[in-house]
Amino acid sequence: MSMKNIIIYTDLDGTLLEHKTYSFDDASEALRLVRMKKIPLIIVSSKTRAEIEYYRKKLQNNDPFVSENGGGIFIPSDYHLDIPLPEGAEKINGYYLIKIGTEYSKLREILKKLQRDGFNVKGFGDMTEEELARLTSLPPHEASLCKKRDFDEPFVFYGSEEELNALIELVKEHGYNYTAGVYHHITGNNDKGKAVEILTTLYKSLFKNILTVGLGDSLNDLEMLKKVDIPVVIKKPDGSYDNELLKIEGIIKTVEPGPKGWQQAIKKILNMV
């Protein structure tokens, strides 16, 4: 059998990063293996570009990444993807940026409209760095990175399920998308799956034989996990799994939550292929 080129797409929060401490120590062994085998490890997160850059540095990662729920694909301009990029890719701060998402100011307008319509919502853009640090348990300097948003407005919502359904309807009526991870999110016509599809196509024109792996724990990972060959759902800290993700064909469930589960899954997959 010919060797397959493995590409790993991974969520951060609650997946590669521990839910409360934001540590990836429990996955260090598997991360070493991935680095040693030179497997592209592509972060696909709801986090901002600034936040992902912070973790890429810690992870010694130089691969492309996807910010804010598929809003933007960032390919380092010196990366070995020596192929024509999609039309409209722009060069920005040492990256080629492929924009899929809607600009942040428009998403903020929708959030303001929800507030005017009487929904009890508070966006990250309405919060100070201190409030955000308290809400997310992020250290203050990471909370400031979290506020540097381009394509996604996370928000907290207080109300019934009925009101939430009405809110989602309203967001969709205005031509925007709703998704949920740890928080609720308003996005443009983007999702993690679209970004993964674009990147996989780019890698396919570089390598012939590709095997894609995806790891995530929340609803906002659904489209990404549908687009990979080996989808992995990470167990949540309370022992549950996201029900929507369990419906994906061929889904692998981890026994452990967070980075422990991430490590087990990656080691098992790398042994299989």
Residue where a domain terminates, one of 121, 152, 187? 187
Residue-level pLDDT at 222: 97
Q: Which domain holds residue 10?
A: 5-101+191-272
CATH number, domain containing residue 20: 3.40.50.1000
Mean of pLDDT values over 124-139:
95
- Rounded (to 5) percent helix, strand, coil in the chain: 40, 25, 35
Beta strands 184-187 and 121-123: pairing type?
A: unpaired
Structure tokens, 87: 């039309």
Please count the structural domains in the chain. 2
CB 179 within 8 A of CB 157: no
Mean pLDDT over residues 183-208, rounded?
94
Mean pLDDT of 22-37: 97
Are 244 and 229 in the same domain?
yes
| CATH code at position 144 | 3.30.980.20
What is the token pair recorded at 93?
């701060």
Q: What is the pLDDT of residues 45-57, one digit of tens each?
A: 999 999 999 999 9
pLDDT band per the 50, 70, 90 thresholds, residue 86: confident
Measured at the alpha carbon of residue 61, what is the angle toward residues 56 and 65, in degrees to the nearest 5?
A: 70
DSSP secondary structure letters along 19-82: TTT---GGGHHHHHHHHHTT--EEEE-SS-HHHHHHHHHHHT--S-EEETTTTEEEEETTSS--
Q: If you ran DSSP here, which 8-state letter would residue 84 be given?
A: P
pLDDT of residue 2: 42
Q: Average pLDDT over the chain, rounded to whole?
A: 95
Mean pLDDT computed over 7-30: 96
| 9/114 same-domain check | no
Residue 11 falls in the annotated catalytic set: yes
- Percent of the chain at pLDDT > 70 equals 99
For 86, how many CA atoms within 13 A lie in the half-sphere containing its CB? Answer: 17
Residues 6+ apart with CB under 8 A from 259: 15, 16, 17, 18, 23, 24, 25, 26, 27
